């Protein structure tokens, strides 16, 4: 598989893949609390590239045997005392189950730590998303906590489990640690208290 920067000329192939995978992706897709979902793929690539030029993100495309398989976005890059970033990802349904995503996450993380000098990577996942929880478990991201109504996904504010990793935990590289079978067991385990809390909707005040 290949992880490479996205380009404007990927728009047509990306749009096809997104359309073919509508029902596969919808439940997990970030949405805007202000406007309906936009399907303008060129506009969304332009926005990712503009964000990347200002140093706020790294938008990657994931390829498998030369075919567009999905996307991985490094976003919310902050420098200075925080030196942190978040990772989001998806692959098309026909590419699922081949460890494409954990490899892509490991490559992006190693690049951010070794080349950019970032210190911490974060991945936030809905409690219901078992395949994605498996990705952080495979790589040994550490469970850090429950974030209530944290990201607007599929039309509503959704709870997320947050997972983190700092550069000192993977000095020889995240991909290398995984390939060598040195991932510590149990780091991504969610505690009982947070699991139970996430099963109950947050009490919100009436207007
Ligand atoms: C979550 C996701 C990115 C995982 O990507 P991936 O490249 O398939 O990752 P993996 O190959 O490591 O598979 C992870 C787990 O998914 C599950 N899985 C495998 N094939 C699957 C399939 N066809 N359908 C559903 N789940 C599957 C397995 O439990 C697997 O764990 P295992 O390898 O121990 O069996 C992918 O399922 C996806 O794009 N889902 C829709 C979008 C999404 O959820 N994005 C993430 C938001 S946080």
Identify the residue whose C-alpha is closest to ligand 1 atom 26.
131
d(CA 55, CA 49): 10
Cβ contact 120:167 at 8 Å: yes
Residue 132 Cα, ligand 1 centroid: separation in angstroms?
Answer: 6
Digit-coded pLDDT (tens) for 88-134: 999 999 999 999 999 999 999 999 999 999 999 999 999 999 999 99
Question: Domain limits at 162?
Answer: 2-198
Cβ contact 154:160 at 8 Å: no
Residue 7 Cα, ligand 1 centroid: separation in angstroms?
Answer: 25
Structure tokens at 146: 């429950």
Domain-embedded: residue 207:
no
Domain-embedded: residue 203:
no
Identify the residue whose C-alpha is closest to ligand 1 atom 14.
131
> How many structural domains compose the chain?
1
Identify the residue whose C-alpha is closest to ligand 1 atom 17.
131
Digit-coded pLDDT (tens) for 2-47: 999 999 999 999 999 999 999 999 999 999 999 887 889 999 999 9
Who contacts 197 (Cβ-Cβ below 8 Å, separation ≥6)?
A: 146
What does pTM read for this prediction? 0.97
Q: In percent, how much of the chain has pLDDT > 70?
A: 100
**CATH code, 89:** 3.40.630.30
C-alpha angle 157-25-191 in degrees, rounded to nearest 5: 55
């Amino acid at each position: 598989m290949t992880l490479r920067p996205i380009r404007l000329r990927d728009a047509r192939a990306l749009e096809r893949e997104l359309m073919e995978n509508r029902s596969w992706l919808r439940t997990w897709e970030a949405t805007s609390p202000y406007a309906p979902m936009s399907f303008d793929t060129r506009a969304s690539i332009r926005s990712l590239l503009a964000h990347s030029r200002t140093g706020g993100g790294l938008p990657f495309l994931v390829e498998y045997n030369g075919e567009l398989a999905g996307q991985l976005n490094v976003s919310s890059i902050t420098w200075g005392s925080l030196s942190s970033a978040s990772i989001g990802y998806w692959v098309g349904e026909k590419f699922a189950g081949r460890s494409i995503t954990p490899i892509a996450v490991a490559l992006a993380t190693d690049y951010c730590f070794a080349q950019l000098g970032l210190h911490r990577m974060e991945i936030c996942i809905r409690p219901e998303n078992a395949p994605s929880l498996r990705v952080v478990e495979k790589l040994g991201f550490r469970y850090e906590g429950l974030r209530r109504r944290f990201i607007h996904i599929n039309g509503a504010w959704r709870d997320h489990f947050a997972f983190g990793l700092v550069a000192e935990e993977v000095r020889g590289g995240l991909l290398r640690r995984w390939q060598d079978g040195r991932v510590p067991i149990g780091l991504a385990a969610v505690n009982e208290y947070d699991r139970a809390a996430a099963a109950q909707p947050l009490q919100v005040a009436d207007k």
